[in-house]
A and B are shown apart, each in its own frame.
Chain A
């Protein structure tokens, strides 16, 4: 039952069990050059896909995002010869990054308050009365990121891949090693919780 990732067993990681469309020829050629130790080819891969992976890693764990991206590219470089071309390079990299994120135990970085330090009147106030309700959109996005990090990891990753990266349910199912219905269920649960989390800002 445990995923085997590039021949290395990774606890908590997931394994794809779907075949994907055949990769474009130029992607396959790029990966073959990387597998042969071509540093320029790897640099091209990094320039093409760093932003994509950084967005996933940052939404998953902002404080470790750079480390997560570097680790993902390191694994891609080390195992470039295992890329078979049955999937898009982007899907292959997503899968690596997701496994790196899911196996990384990081702190959320969310500031914490002691309940005794909070004014009672504020605690029982209606949500629209809270200072948060006047937050600007940038603050709302930060709240969303905090809410994301409070989600169970699987829900968090489905939300990131679907809503922020725009992947199809089929791609998400393949990357996370689940069926499409499970991806939809995880997304619904994630949205319900995030909506509650952000209630003061969207009421």
Chain B
């Protein structure tokens, strides 16, 4: 049994959803795997901790404020006119961007496959342009797309099976390069069905490395890149995230990123890098000269 499988079984056991056979396998693994036993003790402490998270009390006066706002402020036939919707306000901040669909030049010798898992889809798919060859796999059936566009939804898995990098243009501002042998999972993709604007892309790096190129622009970036150790949130930038056996390596070429990791948030600027080890320890890279971003060049080539 793999250690990660054992940990999943342990989580299932917390729910009481584990068979006697699975419990036996779990117990056996625990007795023989020292590293895993340590992780399991932490998992049990974590579970114990979250069992004791208290229910919050309602702020004083909130109930009455809701009643006043909704009932007493909504005598007209269109109460929504009187109350500014926060979601509408949020939508006003969405970036002006659209996934571009032209055939890409400058093809790289790549092999990428997409697998659409049975996770929920939030809005229409993101139409992304890919440099190189694409293979989409849906329900066990694969389809090859060469230098064209692919649909990405929450639940899509994209892997680069070649040794050469592949570029995926997620929006007009945002490209992601998958290094050879890497694989990412799109955990959530939210798009505006009317405009095609993208307001959220949550990516988990399953293995290998990705490089994100983002043009500086006024709107907030929609993308988050997560690994097992950290979540990286760009602020208009070009950066790389590598998921290695020993941990996660993050470097920034342009702009800055916020790195959320065990118990802290770090701001990385251009030229800076850091390694987040599997045990949570963090090591700063020696400063390097920021490289020129290829973002605009890539976009130009793709449209030419």
Contact = CB atoms under 8 A, between A and B. Distances in A.
A121 to B, nearest CB: 11
Contacts, number: 239
Contact of B63 (A1, A46, A64, A197): A46
Given A54-B62, A115-B267, A127 B279 contact: yes
Contacts of A193: 226, 228, 231
A97 to B, nearest CB: 12
Given A12-B190, A177-B120, A71 B86 contact: yes
A73 B70 contact: yes
B65 to A, nearest CB: 7
A203 B274 CA distance: 23
Contacts of A192: 7, 228
Interface stretch (B44-52, B172-180, B292-300): B44-52
Contacts of B192: 11
Interface residues of B, number: 84
Q: Classify chain A: how many residues form its interface, as a range.
A: 35 or more
Contacts of A111: 265
Contacts of B268: 115
Given A13-B122, A14-B120, A39-B67, A194 B90 contact: no
B63 A66 contact: no
A67 to B, nearest CB: 5
A58 B122 contact: no
Given A115-B272, A195-B46, A182 B267 contact: no
Contact of A124 (B66, B67, B123, B282): B282
Contacts of B86: 64, 67-68, 71, 100, 104
Contacts of B100: none
Contact of B118 (A110, A150, A181, A191): A181
A104 B224 CA distance: 16
B234 to A, nearest CB: 13
A30 interface: no
9 contacts: A11-B123, A78-B74, A103-B90, A120-B284, A123-B283, A146-B265, A154-B188, A187-B11, A191-B11
Given A66-B65, A73-B66, A127-B280, 4 more contacts: A2-B124, A51-B57, A118-B266, A144-B50
Interface of B: 7-8, 11-12, 42-43, 45-46, 49-50, 52-59, 62-63, 65-67, 69-72, 74, 79-80, 83, 85-87, 90-91, 93-94, 117-125, 154-155, 187-188, 190-193, 199-200, 202, 204, 220, 224, 226, 228-229, 231, 258, 260-269, 272, 274, 279-284
